[in-house]
Amino acid sequence: MKTYFNNIAGIPEIIEEIKKVTGFLWEKGWAERNAGNLSYNITDIAQEYIEFLDFETPVKSGKPFPNLDNNLLLVTGTGTRMRDVFKNPYNNICILHIVENGTAYRQFQKPESGIKILPTSELSSHLAIHEMLVANNREEKVIIHTHPNNLIALTHIREFCDEDRINNMLWSIQPETRVFIHEGIGFVHYLQTGSDDLADATIGKLKKHRVALWEKHGCLAIGKNPAEAFDLIDIAEKSADIFFICKSAGYKAEGISKKNLDELQQAFNIE
């Protein structure tokens, strides 16, 4: 029995979640041209339908991702605009089935669109992160990478290219950042976009963090759903924004005092 992807129970809702968040990324001004990408591990809801879907011949994935074998991932296409993913998700997202013990992936054929989309150039990072999430039975299924202006600007300031310093500053700007990003963001020093080195460094950070900041490039977050990943970046970006608003007005942000931050830590049971 042939199955149409969008008829699988749960898929239209997932597509709606992706639409909403990719629309936000564009509206926020974090998604110039094709900036950013998103992936969603939909194995739980779609695996039983794999045999009824039409896939192309497998492509080798470079590195092996054994824990992803037989997983199904939605991944935005390389070169696609977030505003277009929002308008027409089915023509801007690839569906990848990981095969051959995690050494290859095959792409869902979409004859109705006639447009061939290839997966994001950051596929190395997306696959490596999903591999780590599955291997550790983590609940996060979504990865968002985007280019938030103020967070990127901070990484052009030497003083903040330091994990402790940038986290202490971001936490001190507003209570939400301390509460909702209590483990802080992981700082990844500049590495070539799309490279395995960037993927490896990001994995290292995501073992303890849910947000990684790529120096002079952008930000990446993981979440149980697109909204959760988006919120983390949005909160961190808000801190950075307020920091620069004070600076532009000619003031240095005073920051929440150590005493108040300690009280917050106690009140919210932050380790």
Least separation in angstroms between residue 144's CB and ligand 13P is 11
What does 257 bind: Zn ion, ligand 13P, none (CB cut-off 5 to 8 Å by kind)?
none
Pattern of binders to ligand 13P over 52-91, x per CB under 6 A? ------------------------x-xx------------
13, 27, 32, 122: which one is catalytic?
Answer: 122
d(C-alpha 229, C-alpha 223), whole Å:
4
Q: Is 148 in the site for Zn ion (CB under 5 A)?
A: no
Task: Name the strands in the sheet holding 104-107, side by side, starting at the edge strand that comes first in the sequence.
Answer: 59-60, 104-107, 93-99, 72-76, 37-41, 142-146, 218-223, 211-214, 186-188
59 phi and psi angles, rounded to 5 deg: -120, 135
With CB under 6 A as the contact rule, which of the stretches 31-39, 99-107, 240-248, 257-265 interacts with ligand 13P?
31-39
Q: Which residue's CB is nearer to Zn ion, number 103 or number 121?
A: 121
Residue 29 contacts ligand 13P per CB under 6 A: no
Q: Decide whether 35 or 270 has the Cβ nearer to Zn ion.
A: 35
Cα 168 to its chain centre, rounded Å, is: 23
Of the ranges 43-51, 91-99, 130-138, 211-219, which one interacts with Zn ion (CB under 5 A)? 211-219
User: Which residues are within 8 A (CB) of 165 and not within 5 positions of it... i.e. 6 or more apart?
Assistant: 159
| Residue 121 contact among Zn ion, ligand 13P, none, beta carbon within 5 to 8 Å by kind | ligand 13P
Rounded CA-CA distance 27/265 in Å is 33
Using CB under 6 A as the binding rule, whether residue 22 contacts ligand 13P is answered as no
Residue from the set 3, 34, 91, 168 that interacts with ligand 13P by CB under 6 A: 34
Token digits for 82? 């977030």
Residues with Cβ within 8 Å of residue 203, at least 6 apart in sequence: 128, 129, 132
Contact 108, 182 (CB under 8 A): no
- Work out whether 109 is an interface residue with ligand 13P (CB under 6 A): no
Site size toward ligand 13P (CB under 6 A) is 12
DSSP state of 55: B
122 labelled catalytic: yes
Least separation in angstroms between CB 121 and ligand 13P: 3
Contact status: 113 vs ligand 13P (CB under 6 A): no
67 binds, among ligand 13P, Zn ion, none (CB under 5 to 8 A by kind): none
Per-residue three-class SS string for 142-192: EEEEECCHHHHHHCCCHHHCCHHHHHHHHHHHCHHHHHHCCCCCEEECCCC
Name the amino acid, one letter, at 140: E
Residues linked to residue 220 through DSSP beta bridges, in sequence order: 145, 212
Closer residue to ligand 13P in complex, CB, 59/179: 59
Positions in the binding site for Zn ion (CB under 5 A): 218
Positions in the binding site for ligand 13P (CB under 6 A): 34-37, 76, 78-79, 120-122, 145, 193
Catalytic positions, written as ranges: 122
